[in-house]
C-alpha cells in the first residue's frame, strides 16, 4: 500500500470517526441516565456511573493492533461505561438488571481468568446494546445497532485497576520478579477486603433485623448507635420520611447532650397519647410548608418538650423556646 493510499484511508477513518462520535456521545449519556434510574428503582447504591468515548489516537492504535477490516463495526468499546458499586453482591444484581433491560452480546468475568496464585485485574465486562423497543423513545432514536462496553467493579476492584494502570504492570509476565510477591499480596488483600466488606454488610443487615424486634422496655440496656436509633424510630414512627444522614445528625445531637435511648423512649411514652393532636396544633401556623414531621423531627420535638438536658440548647432561640415551654405546660409534659 502506497503512502498516499494509507493517508487516504486514515483520513477517511478520521472522517467516519468524527461523524460517529456524536452518536456514541448520545448513547453514552442516555444509557448512563437509564442505568442510574434502574439502579435507584431497585435501591442499589453505587459510587458512580460514567461513560467515555474512545479518543481518535486510541481508535487508530486499536485498528492497527487488531488488524480490523471494518473497525467501526468491529470495535465494541467505542463507547465505554463504567459502574463502580460498593459490594460484590451488587455486581451480580446489576448484571441481572443489564441482562433484563439491554441486549447483551458478550459477558466476561476477568477474575475467572486468574489462577489461584495470580494477581491481576478484576472486573466484569459486558458488550451490550439497547433493545429494539427502546428506539421508540426519542433519546434513543437511531442508536439501535450501536454497541457499548460495560464494566462493573467494586470500589476496591477499581482502586486496583487504577493503580495497576499507573504502574503499567498488566500481568505477571510484564512484572519485574522482585515486585511480583508484593503485588500478589496487595491483590490478595484487596480481594479479601472485598469479601469482608460483603460479610460485614450481611452481618449489619442481620443486626438491624434483630434490633427491630426489640420492644421499648428493652432499650435501657441497648447501646446507642445509628442502627438502634433507626430501629427505635422505625418501630415508633413508621410511615414517616427518614434518611440515614438525618438519623446520623440526630444521633450526634443525642450524644452531645448525653441522651440515652431509654430517655428517648421515656419521652415518647409521655407524648405518645396526645402526639397527633400536639403535632397538628404545633404545625398549624400558615408559614410552615409541611404538616407532618419526618422521623427525626418527631424525635427531636418530643425531647424538646420533655427532656431538661435537651431543652437547654433552645434557650438561645427565645421565641421557639417560649413556644416549646407553652406546649410542654399545655399538655402537662413537664
CB contact set of 43 (below 8 Å; sequence gap of 6+): none
| Per-residue pLDDT band at 116 (split at 50, 70, 90) | very low
Closest CA to 92 of 124, 59, 120: 124
pLDDT of 151-188, one tens digit each? 999 998 888 877 776 765 555 566 666 677 777 788 78
| Per-residue pLDDT band at 87 (split at 50, 70, 90) | very high
| Per-residue pLDDT band at 326 (split at 50, 70, 90) | confident
107 sits in which H/E element = strand 102-109
The percentage of the chain sitting over the pLDDT mark of 90, rounded to a whole number, equals: 40
Cell representation of residue 316: 438561645
pLDDT of 238-271, one tens digit each? 999 998 899 999 999 999 999 999 999 999 999 9
Question: So where are the chain's domains?
Answer: 3-195, 215-330
CATH number for region 3-195 = 3.30.460.10
Burial level of 84, CB count in 10 A (0-12/13-18/19+)? buried
Task: Read off the pLDDT of each residue in 39-58 and give the average, rounded to a whole number.
Answer: 90
298 pLDDT above the threshold of 70: yes
Indicate yes or no: pTM above 0.75.
no
DSSP notation for 29-89: HHHHHHHHHHHHHTT--EEEEEEEE--HHHHHHHHHHHT-SSHHHH---SEEEEEEES-HH
CB contact set of 257 (below 8 Å; sequence gap of 6+): 309, 310, 312, 313
DSSP designation for 292: S
In Å, the largest CA–CA distance within the chain is 97
Amino acid at each position: 500500500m502506497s503512502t498516499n493510499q494509507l493517508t487516504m484511508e486514515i483520513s477517511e477513518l478520521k472522517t467516519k470517526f468524527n461523524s460517529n462520535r456524536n452518536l456514541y456521545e448520545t448513547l453514552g449519556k442516555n444509557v448512563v441516565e437509564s442505568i442510574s434510574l434502574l439502579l435507584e428503582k431497585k435501591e442499589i447504591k453505587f459510587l458512580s456511573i460514567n461513560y467515555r468515548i474512545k479518543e481518535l489516537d486510541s481508535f487508530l492504535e486499536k485498528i492497527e493492533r487488531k488488524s480490523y477490516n471494518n473497525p467501526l463495526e468491529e470495535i465494541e468499546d467505542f463507547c465505554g461505561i463504567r459502574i463502580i458499586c460498593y459490594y460484590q453482591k451488587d455486581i451480580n444484581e446489576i448484571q441481572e438488571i443489564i441482562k433484563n433491560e439491554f441486549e447483551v452480546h458478550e459477558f466476561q468475568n476477568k477474575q475467572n481468568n486468574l489462577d489461584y496464585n495470580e494477581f491481576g485485574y478484576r472486573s466484569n465486562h459486558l458488550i451490550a446494546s439497547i433493545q429494539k423497543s427502546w428506539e421508540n423513545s426519542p433519546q434513543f432514536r437511531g442508536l439501535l445497532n450501536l454497541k457499548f462496553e460495560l464494566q462493573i467493579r467494586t470500589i476496591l476492584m477499581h482502586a486496583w485497576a487504577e493503580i495497576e494502570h499507573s504502574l503499567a504492570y498488566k500481568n505477571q509476565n510484564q512484572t519485574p520478579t522482585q515486585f511480583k510477591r508484593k503485588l500478589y499480596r496487595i491483590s490478595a488483600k484487596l480481594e479479601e477486603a472485598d469479601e469482608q466488606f460483603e460479610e460485614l454488610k450481611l452481618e449489619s443487615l442481620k443486626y438491624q433485623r434483630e434490633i427491630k424486634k426489640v420492644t421499648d422496655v428493652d432499650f435501657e440496656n441497648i447501646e446507642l448507635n445509628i442502627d438502634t436509633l433507626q430501629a427505635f424510630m422505625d418501630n415508633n414512627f413508621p410511615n414517616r420520611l427518614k434518611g440515614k444522614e438525618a438519623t446520623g445528625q440526630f444521633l450526634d445531637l443525642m450524644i452531645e447532650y448525653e441522651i440515652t435511648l431509654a430517655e428517648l423512649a421515656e419521652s415518647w411514652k409521655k407524648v405518645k397519647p396526645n402526639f397527633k393532636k400536639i403535632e397538628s396544633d404545633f404545625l398549624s401556623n400558615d408559614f410552615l410548608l409541611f404538616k407532618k414531621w419526618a422521623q427525626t423531627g418527631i424525635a427531636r420535638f418530643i425531647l424538646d418538650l420533655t427532656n431538661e438536658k435537651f431543652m437547654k440548647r433552645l434557650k438561645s432561640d427565645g421565641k421557639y423556646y417560649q413556644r416549646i415551654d407553652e406546649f410542654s405546660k399545655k399538655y402537662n409534659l413537664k
